[in-house]
Amino acid sequence: MINRLSRRSFARLFGTAVLAPTALATLSTTAQAEGTPSTPTARRFPQGFLWGSATASYQVEGAANEDGRGPSIWDTFSHTAGKTNNGDTGDIADDHYHRYKEDVQLMKALGLKTYRFSVAWPRVFPQGTGTPNPKGLDFYNRLVDELLANNIQPYCTLFHWDLPQALEDKGGWQSRDTSEAFANYAGYVAQHLSDRVKHFMTLNEMKSFVDIGYRDGRHAPGLTLSVDKVNQVRHHAVLAHGLGVQAIRAHAKPGVKVGLAENAEACAPIIETAEHIAAARKAMREENAGYLTAIMEGKYTDAYLAHHGANAPKFTVADMKAIGTPIDFVGLNNYTTTWVRADNSSSGYAVVPAPASYPHMMSPWLRVGPQGLYWGPKLIAEIWGFKEIYITENGASSTDTLTPDGHVYDSDRVMYLRNYLTQLHRAVSEGVPVKGYFCWSFMDNYEWADGYAYRFGLHYVDFQTQKRTPKLSAQFYKEVIARNGLA
Ligand code: PNW
């Protein structure tokens, strides 16, 4: 190609060289100076695309016992011997509770347009219900004000796994009352923040906290319940979402948008032919039947109910109506791809298992599959007609090390992000309505049961000194944001 085109028109077509070899660096300067056209060939994203980054309360805040915060199930779990890597807890984490101003300046330096954070329920309602703790909410008032003063749009998640321990003591997500308590809490926060926060997400990754926390026992509260009980917990989670959407709408200022951040399985055809694509579309509905499909359709699929038989969740018509309350946007947390092939079985598809040699990042579950960022949003937009989609999380764990001269060369994370964003670009250039992308995570933080050894940040954090250092991936992401694109 470069032989047939002049060097200058090559640069015009393919844009600048954030990611290209140094040989192209001079060309990129020319292209920038002349104003690279905003076309899909230039690998630009749509104008106004929201580049963001995400964190969650228990993973970054620390200040576990300050200003009246009550304990959460993660305090209990992480302080129980043998539950977390190295016995790590979120007591201090990134000390973001005290350093949020410094962190917002780092966000600004990166060029972030938006920041996704979560509110710690036990800060606002230390007992889960009852009397609110104004000092708890005040932290989020300060954070939101600081973000807005720096031109960064706040996106707020209401539940990112730190359930008040007082509610767990009364049955936690096994109890329907927790769904109701969540709605009250969500409505209260929306009432107080919605003059400034315009996007709320109800729950983060229902699939993760239900399956890992209540079935596998590797996350708080560390339970290994039977299938029927896990299914009921799952039902209470989607119900909490639905009741939460209604409560937010009832209490928020007009114009607020409500959605969720769910790690739906991103089903992708193993070979891009019509039969495998059709199989992936079927898989997308069925593999997410307990969560996103129930929320989008206000019912459990026949296959889901048949599969669980006597273990299926108990629910009422009113529950399903609440669960199906229309949402304004959907957030997809995506790290991996569920590869699907066409199959003669009654479902019409089969999930292709990963061989032992399948590449993954530092976290063994984090199997690399950038195509999820194309097929995930594309299929959910097709199936349910979504008009507003966000990638609310995407990122990678890597064995980051600080060099003696203070750099982190996380080339694997840069490669990961470039490949995933290339697939996301493929989606938006076909018109899939993805409006923004949040990189997980803004900085290294408390990676749940994996503790501090598993780093996902764009910023390296020295947990002894709390010093933050932008990694090579931060430099990469900053260029992507500045150019609104990949080239
Ligand atoms: C998500 N798995 O968690 C969460 O939303 C974040 O809080 C977390 O830090 C991030 O992804 C990276 O892990 C997951 O085992 C945790 O499949 C575990 C799994 C998936 C997602």
Query: 462 φ, ψ to 5°?
Result: -85, 110
Cα 335 to averaged position of ligand 1 atoms, centre (Å): 9
* Annotated catalytic residue within 61, 205, 262, 287: 205
Nearest-CA residue for ligand 1 atom 2 is 365
Give the span between the Cα atoms of 259 and 245, in whole angstroms.
8
Does the CB atom of residue 444 touch ligand 1 within 6 A?
A: no
CATH topology of domain 51-486: TIM Barrel (3.20.20)
Residue 487's pLDDT is: 86
* pLDDT on residue 3: 39
Question: Where would I find the beta strands (DSSP E) of 430-476?
Answer: 434-440, 459-462, 467-470
pLDDT tens-place string over residues 35-71: 444 554 579 999 999 999 999 999 999 999 999 999 9
Q: What are phi and psi of 203, to 5 degrees?
A: -115, 150
Query: What integer pLDDT is reported at residue 12 of this predicted model?
Result: 36
Average pLDDT, the chain: 93
Other C-beta atoms within 10 Å of 354: how many?
15
How many CB atoms lie under 10 A from the CB of residue 157? 26
CA distances from 389 to 152, 153, 214, 243 (A): 19, 16, 29, 21
The confidence score (pLDDT) of residue 330 equals 98
Beta strands in 294-428 (DSSP E): 330-333, 338-342, 349-351, 389-394
Q: How many residues does the chain have?
A: 487
Q: Assess whether the C-beta atom of 333 lies below 6 angstroms from ligand 1.
A: yes
The full set of domain ranges for the chain reads: 51-486
CB 56 less than 6 A from any atom of ligand 1 = yes
Distance 274 CA to ligand 1 centre (A): 32
Q: In whole angstroms, what is the distance from residue 52 CA to residue 153 CA?
A: 9
DSSP characters over 114-172: EEEEE--HHHHSTTSSSS--HHHHHHHHHHHHHHHHTT-EEEEEEESS--BHHHHTTTG
Query: What pTM did the predictor assign?
Result: 0.92
d(CA 309, CA 69): 42
- 238-252: string of b/e by CB count within 10 Å (b at 16+)? bbbbbbbbebbbebb
Residues of the chain with pLDDT under 50: 1-37, 40
> What's residue 402's pLDDT?
97
Question: What is the pLDDT, as a whole number, of residue 23?
Answer: 32
Is 265 a catalytic site residue?
no
CB 365 less than 6 A from any atom of ligand 1: yes
The pLDDT of residue 24 is: 31
pLDDT value for 9: 39
* Pocket residue to mutate for ligand 1, from 55, 287, 335, most atoms within 8 A of Cβ: 335
SS3 83: coil
Amino acid code (one letter) for 398: S
Based on the residue annotation, tell me whether 393 is a catalytic residue of this protein. yes
- CA–CA gap between residue 412 and residue 96 (Å, rounded): 27
Enter the tokens of residue 191. Answer: 């009432």
Atom 20 in ligand 1: residue holding the nearest Cα: 208
Report the pLDDT value the prediction gives residue 39, as an integer from 0 to 100: 52
Our answer on whether the CB atom of 440 is closer than 6 Å to any ligand 1 atom is yes
Gap from CA of 166 to ligand 1 centroid (Å): 24
Helix (H, G, I), strand (E, B) or coil at 300: coil
Q: How far is the CA of 234 from the centre of ligand 1 (A)?
A: 17
